[in-house]
Chains A and B, each alone.
Chain A
Amino acid sequence: MGYKTKVKLVNALFSVILVFLSVIYMAPIFIVLMNSFKGKFFISEAPFRLPTKETFIGLENYVSGLQKTNFLNAAGWSLFITIGSVACIIIFTSMTAWYITRIKNKISSALYYLFTLSMIVPFQMVMYTMSKMANMLHLDNPAGIIVIYLGFGTGLSVFMFSGFVKSIPLELEEAAMIDGCSFIKTFFLVVMPVLKPIIVTVAILNTMWIWNDYLLPYLVIGMDYRTIPIAIQYLKGGYGSIDMGAMMAMLVLAIIPIVIFYITCQKYIIEGVIAGAVKG
């Protein structure tokens, strides 16, 4: 048997194993989906059984879950907070990164190190004092929390933008300024377009984090404007024992936007995650 045929045979074997593994890997999501159509008393005991005539209850779990958690509102707040924060992070941290990279002085380099250092500090270190601070400054609402996210997103975002700015040739900006472009105009009309690939990466990394974040909005805003993770955790906290049916249905609804986001931007997500990991 030649080397080539051997490779082909081994690869065929691996294909079979991979198909098997993929099915197992996706199984948890299908189990949740399947159980979201079963009566709540049939879930904990036999989550691996398909719905039968007796256990199938159609969309009842979805209806009760939507009511209990006010899920659609939560989805709206999640969307508002995520989009607002990511937009602010991109605009403000790219400006800051360009400024501190191009204007070399002591303040710039001090800021750069400070921002970078903040990346390694775990959230628990600042969570108590930060949420008190947010309360005092009246940032404990969906608009105010955007300021907090801008502050927490600064470390990684400035770091990534700075790395990219260093690779842009100075000539481009100098030519623009000699042609009479102001400093601000140069940034928005000349530099910003060049930053596009890194903007996508920074946007994806921050979106993934902010969309799924639980503790920060819970401590800062609390229960008044629930995001999706808070709404789901609330299903447990608010009602002693969990309504498993409603829980399954809400888990499905929480996963759907993520799957859509993943399918539409898969290439950028994987590239962005690799870039973020290598740099961070």
Chain B
Amino acid sequence: MVKRKARYFPVFVLPTLTAFMIAFLIPFIMGIFLSFTKFTTVLDAKWVGFQNYIDAFSNKEFLNALWFTVKFAIVSVITINVLSFILALILTRNIKGTNLFRTVFFMPNLIGGIVLGYIWQVIINGVLYKYGVSLTFKPEYGFWGLTILMNWQMIGYMMVIYIAGIQNVPRDLIEAARIDGAGSFKILTKIIIPLVMPAITICLFLTMSNSFKLFDQNLALTAGAPSKKTAMLALDIYNTFYGSVGSEGIGQAKAVVFFLIVGLVAIIQLKLTRKREVEN
């Protein structure tokens, strides 16, 4: 039976597999290979060993982008998750109009990064105009501008996941604790938070990987200004590839490093989820 069905492979799998190889698999393997070469057109690659990696890590802009991204990811992950969790707690109290509020807070998540970037550029510049400066005056402005933007975009998304998690906490458990004299804070820390831990892991991971991979918002809001100090990893890699001829190999090496960082975050998340599943 299985053998007879297996001959349908060309119809069922081949179209997807072909597209997957063209768009992803071959470019991925080529990318790893090219990160060890010097090239300008892919076909003229010359092997240089780890030279591109050495160049990448001695590149000030790359190290600055790496540090900027890490800082940004930490601040965003904390602010987004704390704020969205608080909102989720409030929106699971059976308040009238909960659905409307949820709709409003989720909305920005659907807007694309380029559009988001320009929306906030106008607003932040409008505020800073009163002080005679603009968004690109100091890197700190760009940093906090991106943080605000990211919060605006992601809070609703994370809130929706937290709401789903909190609604799964059995009501009788909370009622029983209350009858036993537990205060609201104790109920939160001893019952709700442990039971929504899966949702917390998901949200931490999602915000973390989205912060690391941020590109469109960065490009539209500051484009790295002033003098590339607000360029995050993805934008720095883009600039290395397309900003000057001759540094494609270094760009590809940076991209591999970027992939390893994002992959590491993903593996840690997977391990954490697996571990808890075993415990349960």
Contact = CB atoms under 8 A, between A and B. Distances in A.
Interface residues of B, number: 87
A130 interface: yes
A184 B114 contact: no
Given A22-B104, A111-B13, A154 B20 contact: yes
A103 B160 contact: no
Interface in A220-239: 228-229, 232-233, 236
B113 A212 contact: yes
A150 B252 contact: no
Given A95-B11, A100-B13, A215-B216, A254 B24 contact: no
Contacts of B34: 128-129
Interface of A: prevailing SS: helix
Contacts of A43: 122
A47 B43 CA distance: 50
Interface residues of A, number: 94
B80 interface: no
Contacts of A270: 102, 106, 160
Contacts of B209: 120
Contact of A154 (B19, B26, B109): B19
Interface string A249-279: 0010011001101100010011001100110
Interface in B243-270: 248, 251-252, 255-256, 258-259, 262-263, 266
A125 B91 CA distance: 39
B154 to A, nearest CB: 11
Given A28-B119, A95-B11, A229-B115, A129 B31 contact: yes
A44 B122 contact: yes
Task: Tell me the dominant secondary structure on chain B's binding face.
Answer: helix
Contact of B19 (A15, A48, A95, A148): A148
A208 interface: yes
A118 B113 CA distance: 22
A137 B226 CA distance: 39
Given A22-B105, A151-B19, A151-B24, A274 B258 contact: no
A1 interface: no
B112 interface: yes
Interface of A: 7, 10-11, 14-15, 17-18, 21-22, 25-26, 28-29, 31-32, 35, 43-48, 92-93, 95-96, 98-100, 102-105, 107, 111, 114-115, 118, 120-130, 132-134, 137, 139, 147-152, 154-155, 158, 183-184, 187, 208, 211-215, 228-229, 232-233, 236, 244, 247-248, 251, 254-255, 258-259, 261-262, 266, 269-270, 273-274, 277-278
15 contacts: A11-B95, A25-B105, A25-B108, A31-B126, A47-B126, A96-B13, A125-B259, A133-B23, A150-B19, A154-B20, A212-B110, A215-B215, A259-B107, A270-B160, A274-B160
Query: Which 9 A-B pairs rank lowest in CB-CB distance, beginning with the nearest?
Result: A151-B23, A212-B112, A47-B126, A129-B27, A99-B12, A151-B19, A150-B19, A130-B27, A126-B27
